A and B are shown apart, each in its own frame.
Chain A
Amino acid sequence: MNCCNSKPIIGLYSGEKLCKIHFNDYFESKVSKTIRQFELLGKEENLGVALSGGKDSLTVLHILSKLSKTNPKIKLNAIAIDEGIHGYRDKTLEKARDFCNKNNVELHIFSYKEEFGLTLDEMLKILDVKPCSICGVFRRYLLNKKAKELKLTKLATGHNLDDECQSIIMNQMKNNIQASARLGPKVGLVQDPKFVQRIKPLYLCTEKEVTTYAFINGLLDSFNECPNVPQSFRAQVRDMLNSMEQKFPGTKYSTVNSFLQTLPLLKQQFRSDAVKICAKCSEPSANDICNACVYLEKLKNSIIVK
Chain B
Amino acid sequence: MEKIKVSVFIDRENRNASLELENNSVVLDLLDKLEINPVTVIVSRNNELILEDERLNDNDDLRILSVISGG
Contacts and interface: CB of A to CB of B under 8 A. Distances in A.
A148 B53 CA distance: 49
Interface stretch (A171-179, A219-227, A265-273, A297-305): A219-227
Interface in A1-54: 7-11, 17, 20, 52, 54
Contacts, number: 71
Given A208-B42, A211-B67, A220-B65, A9 B14 contact: no
A11 B69 contact: no
B58 interface: no
Interface string A233-260: 0000010001101100000000000000
A71 interface: no
Nearest to A163: B69
A207 to B, nearest CB: 5
A215 B45 CA distance: 13
Given A17-B51, A246-B38, A225 B44 contact: no
A215 B71 contact: no
Interface residues of A, number: 36
Contact of B42 (A88, A215, A243): A215
A212 B49 contact: yes
Nearest to A228: B71
Contact of A222 (B11, B40, B68): B11
Contacts of A88: 70-71
Contact of A92 (B11, B42, B52, B70): B70
A209 B33 CA distance: 24
Contacts of A8: 51
Nearest to A91: B70
A198 interface: no
Contacts of B44: 215
Interface string B38-62: 1110101000111110000000000
B39 A208 contact: yes
Interface of A: 7-11, 17, 20, 52, 54-56, 88, 92, 160, 162-163, 207-208, 210-212, 215-216, 220, 222-226, 228-229, 238, 242-243, 245-246
Interface of B: 11-12, 14, 37-40, 42, 44, 48-52, 65-71
For the complex of A and B, the 7 pairs showing the least CB-CB separation, nearest first, are A226-B71, A9-B49, A211-B67, A223-B11, A207-B67, A225-B70, A245-B39
18 contacts: A8-B51, A9-B48, A11-B52, A20-B49, A54-B71, A56-B69, A88-B71, A92-B70, A163-B69, A208-B67, A210-B67, A211-B67, A212-B42, A220-B65, A225-B12, A225-B70, A242-B39, A242-B40
